[in-house]
Structure formats: structure tokens, C-alpha cells
Structure 1
Amino acid sequence: MIRPYNVHDKKELFDIFKLNTPKYFDPKEVNDFEEYLEQHSVTYLIIEYENKIVGGAGCNFREKDNTGRITWIFFHPNYTGLGLGKKMVEHCLSILKLNLTLEKVVVTTSQLAYKFFEKFGFSLKETEQNYWGPGLDLYLMELPIDKNS
């Protein structure tokens, strides 16, 4: 089940985030994630599996450039390979596409996850070494939105 984030999810979500550190996130990013939740909690989604929080993702729209964003997507390591990431990205895309002015969706990820986003049609636009932290490169990806589909 995918549902909106609420403040009572914070501890469990941060425990999952820490399980993904330092493999997928640099330890200093926990502060950035906390700031995101403080400022944009209404755009964050939780995914539950068997009534347990197993991950989440941010999903928001910027009017100034008609761009959607999927951000801070991560899952409990014990629940990978179940199709939950696919389900979450598809859910975020369906929400973003409700905005008729949407022109593209942007994902900022790393060399560890960019191939996952390629499966949805995202293409790599730029990279920057050690952007997130040592050994974690920025992979900026975009998905243009076809207005005719």
C-alpha cells in the first residue's frame, strides 16, 4: 500500500534510511533528508508491505519550470526485488501526470540506481563524480512527458 507520510512514520523511515547508508546514501545526507521532510512532508509517500513500512519516495511538481521530481526513494534492504520500487515510481508518475502542464520528470540518483530509472524511459543528462559523497556520483536523469499519450 502506498500512502502519504505522517510524522509518526519518521523514526521507522529514518531507521530504513540508515540501513541504506553508506551504500546508497552518504551519512551526511540524513540531515538533507530530514530537512526535506520538514519542508515538503506533504509530497512524501510511504510504501507498506504486509502492514510494515518498507520504504518511501518524494513526489513533487515545480510550477516555475513545469518539472516533476521523484526524490529520496529508498527501501528496506530485506524488501528489494519484490517490485515495490517499480510500483512506487509508477505511482509517482501517475500523480505527476495529473498536472497538465508537466513537461518532464527529473530524478537525481547515483551510479548504483540509474539503470533502474532507465527502465521507465529516463535518460541520463549529466554526471558528477563524488557529488553525494566519496564514491557516490550524481546521475541526473530526465523523462520527457509526451502530451499525446
Structure 2
Amino acid sequence: MASLPLLFRPFEADRDTEAVVQLFRSNLDPYFIPEEEQELRDFIAQPLRYFVAEIAAGHSETGRLVAAGGYALNNPYAVLTWGMVDRKLHGQGLGRDFTVFRLNECRRAYPGKAIEIHTAQLTAGFYEKLGFRTLLVEKDKWAPGLDHCHMLLDADVNL
């Protein structure tokens, strides 16, 4: 369980875009490459099912965005999209809590669908702990040393 009091809410483009870009930038080298920033900006400019986690009331940093991510339908599966946590907060349970929230929202929207993710080898272990299994690894797909891992969470796996 994350140590910070968190509020999960829908992404609001006018309010949240620059904070999400800052979360992305906090994870450059090794998790993302700079060339992906425009792809992220284009993605979050569209109507989507995307969420943010902010520090909840009662904390000195109330309202600060600390995570972002969403989901979509990518037949035959649902898919987790553009998930990230402020790099300074990695390892505190926030990413797990936020990912479980997103998985539950995705399952409500697309009941009975398995959920896929396209991630790097650096975060594959995180998703394995949640029950994902690796379908395919493509070495150096996104950049040298940044492999593409296609992973799947079967519809019947309990969170």
C-alpha cells in the first residue's frame, strides 16, 4: 500500500497535460526515450480513458500529480496505456496501487477481456508480480538496451 494519501481521478487535458509530461520526463533514461514525448502528447490530446493519481487532502503536497495511466480496447484484448509514476516515488507501492486501480477500471469497461501491456524489460518484473505473463520480447525495439515486452494478464487472474 502506498504511503502517500492518494486520489485517483480522470485525466483533464487542460489541467493535467504539463504535469503528465513532467512525470514522463522524470522517467527518461532508462524507462522512456525523449522521442516518445510527442507521441505521449498526441495520445493524451485525444478523448480517452486516462487517469491521474494526485496527493490527497491533508498532505503538504495536496494536488500534486504523482502518477498517470489509462486503458483502451485493442482487440482482441484490452490494453494498459502510458502508465508512469514520478521516478522519485518508485518502490513505495504507489505504482502497484494505481495499476490495480487501472486494471479494475479496465475490467469494468471490458468484462471478460484479457489485458495486455507493451512495456520494457525494466518494468516486466513489476507486471509479473501482478499476474502478467510475457508473450514476446523484442530486443532493442525502442532503443539500444530498451526491449519491448508484450505481456498479458488473463481475464480470470485475480488481483
Same fold (TM over 0.5): yes
Residue 34 to residue 88, structure 1, CA distance change in 2 (3 Å): same
**Partners of 1:60 and 1:126 in 2: how far apart?**
20
Q: Deviations over 1:60-90 (max 9, x none)?
A: 224x42x211121111112122211111111
Q: Deviations over 1:42-74 (max 9, x none)?
A: 311101124210110121224x42x21112111
1:42-53 paired onto structure 2 within 5 Å:
42-49=48-55, 50-53=62-65
2:154 paired residue number? 144
- The alignment-based identity, stated in percent, is 27
**TM-score (norm: length of structure 1):** 0.89
**Partners of 1:13 and 1:110 in 2: how far apart?**
19
Pick from 87, 110, 113: which aligns with 1:103? 113
Q: Which amino acid aligns with 1:32?
A: E
Gaps of 5+ in 1: none
Q: Is the 8 A contact 2:134 2:149 kept in 1?
A: yes
Q: CA RMSD in A?
A: 2.0
Q: Deviations over 1:16-44 (max 9, x none)?
A: 2111112100111111111111224x311
- Deviation at 1:101? 4.5
Gaps of 5+ in 2: 1-6, 56-61
The aligned length equals: 146
Pick from 52, 67, 70: which aligns with 1:55? 67
Residue 101 to residue 19, structure 1, CA distance change in 2 (3 Å): closer
1:33-112 paired onto structure 2 within 5 Å:
33-40=40-47, 42-49=48-55, 50-62=62-74, 64-65=75-76, 67-99=77-109, 101-112=111-122
| SS state at 1:113 partner | helix
Pick from 14, 19, 24: which aligns with 1:17? 24
**TM-score (norm: length of structure 2):** 0.83
Structure 1 runs of 4+ aligned residues shifted over 4 Å read none
Q: Which amino acid aligns with 2:50?
A: Y
Q: Is the 8 A contact 1:96 1:102 kept in 2?
A: no
